[in-house]
Amino acid sequence: MLGRMLMLCLAGLPTAGSVASSSSIPPQSAGPTVPQAKPDPEALLIDIYKDLGANRLREAQVKADALVAAYPTFRLGHLVRGDLLMMHARPVRNFGAMSDGPQDKLKELRDEAMVRIRSLQEKPDPRLIPKAVLQVGDDQKNILVVDTSRSRMYVYENQGGELRYQNDYYISQGRFGANKAKEGDQRTPIGVYYVNSRIPGPKLPDFYGTGALPLSYPNEWDKRNGRSGYGIWLHGTPSDNFSRPPLSSDGCVVLANPDLQNLYSTAEVGKTVVVISQHVQFVDKGEWNRQRDAASAMLEQWQQSLESTDSDKTLSYYSNEFRSAQGESLSTWFSRQQKSMNGARFTSVKLRDVSLFRYPGGPEDMIVSTFTQESAVGKSKNAIRKRQYWVKEGSQWKIIYEGNA
């Protein structure tokens, strides 16, 4: 029964060696002994299930033994190995067939197994690009995209303004899923966030694993919408547990310690963006280029209006629903901006290190832009980091929030 179910679940999936090159062991050669890399645990797990589905019990047992030897705290690996050992005595009809184990814990491990299998079944083409990522700044090395429906994080590298898929990881999220609204609801927030600090493992309780990357929750849009709470981190797992169930945190995004360390080594405070969405959509490069160019043109037109002598033209780019960080209306905020200029006009405005993201979980059409604005008024020059939220009103894009980043 379990074998037939696995055959259906795993049909068409690659084996461990093709899912991740780290799972293969290089041939030995003469010379000094080189430590062998550990096998990729998830790829090996899927390969075990494929062997089970094909009734290759001996091969599955060898791999299960290797999995728990390499990762002794991987509880799902032990569950699989237990299923295999039980098959020598009686038929096994589902994951975690032991009847005397704690049912809540067994359910969590079954959920983790199915999430991992499903994420490989639905693995996006690496040539596709997350729809939410419209443009990355020259100063941004990596973009992290979390799909809560798949319990998955996708890692992309910025290569000269082009996104290149690097890796993806299993993640755990809040006990009650995503779309955080208030403190203590044990949900993971949906939105665009920045890594705002780095905390090494030795400075943390063992519960957080090998390190943590706190995120900028609540961001400007969260605050405007009354979302409360704090302390949303990317962090690792306790030393006695390789991974956690899909729904198990108080709202943080939790990764296995090796995966967290990979992120920790490249994350940059104030630059690394984490996009958390309930359903990540992917587009091909042609569509991505079209959407990026349209968003860039939108921002460029606003920038050009700042250099004009027509304040009404600039004002036309702002929504009547605009609110500043202090809660000011558009008229109050804009008047204050004009007064600070003392009647002077920008002689030049340049934008650099521009990033543009389609905001998940907000209005259907909302874009958040972050950039450094370099302005000149006569001989006086100024540079300031800004963030704007744009919404589509009819056929026009309008700024609904603007403030310092």
Q: What structural domains and CATH numbers belong to the chain?
A: 2-121 (no CATH), 129-282 (2.40.440.10), 284-404 (3.10.450.50)
pLDDT band at 228 (very low <50, low <70, confident <90, very high): very high
- Nearest one of 181, 331, 150 to 251, comparing CA atoms: 181
Give the model's confidence band at 38: pLDDT under 50 very low, under 70 low, under 90 confident, else very high. Answer: confident
Could you give the CA distance from residue 99 to residue 264 in angstroms, rounded to a whole number? 40
Residue 399 has pLDDT above 50, yes or no: yes
Measured CA to CA in angstroms, residue 389 lies from 121, 398, 405 at distances of 35, 8, 12
Residue 27 pLDDT greater than 50, yes or no: no
Highest mean pLDDT among 11-15, 190-194, 304-308 belongs to: 190-194
Q: Which amino acid is at 9?
A: C
Report the pLDDT value the prediction gives residue 316, as an integer from 0 to 100: 96
Task: Tell me: pLDDT of 21 over 50.
Answer: no
Query: Does position 30 have pLDDT exceeding 60, yes or no?
Result: no
pLDDT digits (tens, 9 = 90+) for 343-356: 777 789 999 999 99
CA distances for 371 relative to 312, 384, 403, angstroms? 23, 8, 11
> Tens digits of per-residue pLDDT, 312-368?
999 999 999 999 999 999 999 999 988 887 777 778 999 999 999 999 987 778 999
Task: Check residue 99 and give its pLDDT.
Answer: 62
What is residue 10's predicted lDDT score, i.e. its pLDDT?
Answer: 53
pLDDT at 16 over 70: no
**Residue of 342 and 170 predicted with greater confidence:** 170
Mean pLDDT of 281-304: 96
Question: Could you tell me the two tokens for 75?
Answer: 């509880």
With a cut of 50, say whether residue 19 has pLDDT above it: no
- Say if residue 264 is exposed, middle or buried (CB neighbours under 10 Å; 0-12, 13-18, 19+): buried
pLDDT-based confidence at residue 191 (cuts at 50, 70, 90):
very high
Spatial separation of the C-alpha atoms in residues 209 and 258, rounded to whole Å? 10
- Over residues 200-213, the pLDDT tens digits come to 999 999 999 999 99
What pLDDT is attached to residue 37?
76
Radius of gyration of the chain measured on its C-alpha atoms:
25
Closest Cα to residue 319, out of 384, 354, 366? Answer: 366
Percent of the chain with pLDDT over 90: 70
pLDDT of residue 2: 53
pLDDT of residue 26: 36
Checking 377-382 for CB contacts under 8 A at 24+ apart, the result is 377/341, 377/344, 377/345, 377/346, 377/347, 378/344, 378/347
Mean pLDDT estimate for the chain: 88
Cβ neighbour number for residue 190 with a 10 Å cutoff: 21
Residue bearing the bigger pLDDT, 93 or 265: 265
The pTM (predicted TM-score) of the whole model is: 0.89
Q: pLDDT value at position 31?
A: 47
40-79 pLDDT tens trace: 899 899 899 888 888 898 999 999 999 999 999 999 999 9
pLDDT of residue 103: 83
**What one-letter code names the amino acid at 237?**
T
Rounded distance, CA 105 to CA 111, Å?
Answer: 10
Q: State residue 206's pLDDT score.
A: 97
